[in-house]
């Protein structure tokens, strides 16, 4: 197996571990530990960990190894604001004359992702929701046609999930707790209706901030 491919596979696997909370915030580990866990050499592991640190998911501890990054309530509020600004830009681009109408098959694909995420949210299936929600927003970001926007939004969304997951897992039941209006957002994008998209996103942000304020009071 090529080293670059192995590096990406290790990075993806560790990213999933962080997102599911199996590698919780503050968890320390070394290159050697991860290399032994996956039965691979140290080089692709080190490269994968450096990649994840560059994405803001890990902190590098000088001469010690790596630590899953801890986010504060203030960090979370700032991240929600950042993702909102990026999302607003995407919708403006979709609405604007400079961008062609989004093809029906693309909208249909985003809608399927949204429906899957909404079902998981309503039923309280957190692990399924995390995966579906991240893929949904990747497809939404792709509407911008700008890979840098896609990468930035994906990074911010991953970080907000990292902060939220421990508090969500501690909740006795998650059925209907998380935001689930993904399809309404797709309809607004399809109609190039920026005002409707803004209303959905405003509701989303208010819902998310209120939920975290309740589950993780300062």
CA angle 157–126–16, rounded 5-degree value:
55
So what's the pLDDT on residue 86? Answer: 93
**For 116-139, what is the mean pLDDT?**
96
pLDDT of 4 over the 70 cut:
no
Are 52 and 58 a contacting pair, CB within 8 Å?
yes
Confidence category of residue 1, pLDDT binned at 50, 70, 90: very low
Q: What is the 3-state secondary structure (H, E, C) of 88-142?
A: HHHHHHHHCCCCCCCCHHHHHHHHHHHHHHHHHHHHCCHHHHHHHHHHHHHHHHH
**For 178-186, what is the mean pLDDT?**
97
pLDDT of 92 over the 90 cut:
no
45: helix, coil or strand?
helix
So what's the pLDDT on residue 102? Answer: 80
| Range ranked top by mean pLDDT from 13-22, 142-151, 158-167 | 158-167
Asked which of 81-95, 121-135, 198-212 is least confident by mean pLDDT, the reply is 81-95
């Amino acid at each position: 197996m090529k080293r670059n491919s192995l590096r990406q596979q290790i990075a993806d696997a560790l990213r999933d571990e962080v997102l599911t909370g199996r590698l919780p915030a503050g968890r320390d580990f070394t290159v050697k530990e991860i290399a032994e866990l996956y039965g691979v050499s140290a080089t692709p592991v080190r490269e994968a960990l450096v990649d994840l640190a560059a994405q803001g998911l890990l902190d590098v501890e000088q001469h010690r190894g790596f630590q899953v990054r801890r986010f504060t309530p203030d960090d979370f509020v700032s991240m929600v604001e950042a993702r909102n600004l990026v999302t607003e830009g995407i919708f403006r681009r979709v609405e604007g004359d400079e961008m062609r109408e989004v093809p029906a098959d693309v909208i249909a694909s985003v809608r399927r992702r949204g429906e899957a995420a909404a079902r998981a949210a309503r039923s309280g299936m957190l692990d399924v929701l995390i995966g579906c929600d991240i893929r949904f927003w990747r497809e939404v970001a792709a509407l911008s046609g700008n890979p840098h926007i896609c990468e930035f939004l994906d990074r911010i969304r991953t970080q907000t999930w990292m902060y939220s997951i421990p508090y969500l897992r501690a909740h006795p039941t998650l059925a209907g707790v998380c935001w689930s209006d993904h399809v309404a957002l797709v309809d607004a994008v399809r109609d190039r209706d920026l005002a409707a998209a803004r209303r959905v996103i405003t509701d989303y942000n208010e819902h998310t901030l209120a939920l975290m304020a309740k589950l993780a009071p300062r």
